Amino acid sequence: MARVLQWWSHSKTVALIWFVSAIVFYTLFQMALRNSNSASSGRYYAFIPSLPFGSRENFVEFDLALMNFDFADSLVSSEVRRSKLYDGMARDLDEKGAAFLKQGETSQSLSLSDIFTLKDGSVEPVLKAANPPVRANVLYLSTEYSVPISETVKRIVNPYFDKSIWFQNSSLYHFSMFHASHHITPVPATEDEIEAEVNAVRATSKTLCPLNIVLDRVVLTSTGVLLGCWQVTSGTDPVTIRAKLRTALPRAPEKQLYDAAILHTSFARLLGQPKASAMDSHNSDLVQFFHELVARLNMELRGFRAVVSELWYVEEYDVLALALNGRMKVRRFQLGCPTN
Ligand SMILES: *[C@@H]1O[C@H](CO)[C@@H](O)[C@H](O)[C@H]1NC(C)=O
């Protein structure tokens, strides 16, 4: 009997200790979670475009709606964070369908009629002055890598589309990093202030190491943008690059356009229906057709490796100058990667 009593009191003590430990652990965990959330919130959060589809503004923010993730920065590695972003972007076409075909179609079947026109049978961008000019910091992908990618994309995609496609200029493949001023929160600057920004970005570039990157996947968004989504195998992570640029450019808009971890470049923009002949074998199931197209691109491009070693400070005098071959002024900086 005494034994049983002893055993009973022992188990109660053990249970009590477990219970108290569980409460302490849970409380600390919640506190850690709250801290990391408040540290990251308000810095780089996604924002949902409220502008009408097909406007210039939406063209640049095509993917922002997909980035509405609530990450606790310190709890997730940049690599995992990128993977989750890319998963979400890949799901977008399934969830929303091919929105770029449904809205604002013109008689020439160009859905983005205020950005592009058909001239002598070919698609041309309609350029519009940016006032004040947008000041973007982008990583540059050299033509050593962009030209083979661009050729592969054209070879696979071109047979299915007549004129209703716009290809990113392969001399201007870039990864958008951080804006000193953008169209949503313009930050006007004098020439002196611009020179000060240029010097700050130059100094920052010296502290960054070239990035070895690998193409994780090609994604087609519901707004018709064909994107390359990349992972980083070595070099300075985009999260660090953006943080350093924020420090170097204290006047920059608090709200940036992209998630802090993303590393993406746009390859092309689909502007309308694929040719009728392309659809014959797909029972007119557009989403299925696009899935197969993206699968073919992935088969050839997934795993493509590149090295990024230049940071550009770009003044875009036309809206979307980098995307539409508009007027711009570019300052190029080699990533210095200090060795010590
Ligand atoms: C592509 O960009 C390069 C470099 O800015 C430029 O020289 C070339 O004219 C552009 N191509 C087109 C078709 O605009």
pLDDT digits (tens, 9 = 90+) for 283-304: 668 888 999 999 999 999 999 9
Cβ neighbours of residue 278 under 8 Å, at least 6 residues apart? Answer: 159, 160, 161, 289
Condensed to tens digits (0 to 9), the pLDDT of residues 148-193 reads 999 999 999 999 988 889 999 999 999 999 999 998 899 999 999 9
Query: d(Cα 160, Cα 278) in Å, to the nearest integer?
Result: 6
- What's at 100, amino acid-wise? F
Cα 324 to averaged position of ligand 1 atoms, centre (Å): 9
Task: Select from 119, 147, 168, 172 the residue to mutate for testing ligand 1; criterion: most ligand atoms less than 8 Å from CB.
Answer: 172
Instruction: Mark 270-303 as b/e (b = at least 16 C-beta within 10 Å).
Output: bbbbbeeeebeeeeeebeebbbebbeebbeebee
pLDDT at 115: 80
| C-beta of residue 333 within 8 angstroms of C-beta of residue 202 | yes
| Second CATH level (architecture) for the domain 81-334 | Alpha-Beta Complex (3.90)
**321 in ligand 1 pocket by Cβ < 6 Å?**
no
Query: d(Cα 82, Cα 67) in Å, to the nearest integer?
Result: 10
Q: Which residue's CA is minimally distant from atom 9 of ligand 1?
A: 325
Query: Residue 275: pLDDT band by 50, 70, 90 thresholds?
Result: confident
Say yes or no to pLDDT of 51 above 50: no
Q: What percent of the chain has pLDDT over 90?
A: 56
**325 in ligand 1 pocket by Cβ < 6 Å?**
yes
> Per-residue pLDDT averaged across 94-112, rounded?
62
Query: Residue 15: pLDDT band by 50, 70, 90 thresholds?
Result: low
Query: d(Cα 316, Cα 89) in Å, to the nearest integer?
Result: 27
Query: d(Cα 90, Cα 84) in Å, to the nearest integer?
Result: 10
Domain boundaries, the chain: 81-334
The mean pLDDT of the chain is 82
Query: Residue 14: pLDDT band by 50, 70, 90 thresholds?
Result: low
Note the Cα 270 to chain centre separation in Å. 17
pLDDT at 179: 97
pLDDT at 276: 78
DSSP state of 143: H
The residue among 3 and 127 whose pLDDT is bigger is 127
**329 in ligand 1 pocket by Cβ < 6 Å?**
no
Cα 171 to averaged position of ligand 1 atoms, centre (Å): 7
Query: Residue 2: pLDDT band by 50, 70, 90 thresholds?
Result: low
Query: d(Cα 28, Cα 87) in Å, to the nearest integer?
Result: 31
**334 in ligand 1 pocket by Cβ < 6 Å?**
no
The residue among 49 and 277 whose pLDDT is bigger is 277
> Per-residue pLDDT averaged across 272-279, rounded?
79
325 by Cβ neighbours in 10 Å (0-12 / 13-18 / 19+) ranks as middle
Say yes or no to pLDDT of 49 above 90: no
Query: d(Cα 227, Cα 116) in Å, to the nearest integer?
Result: 19
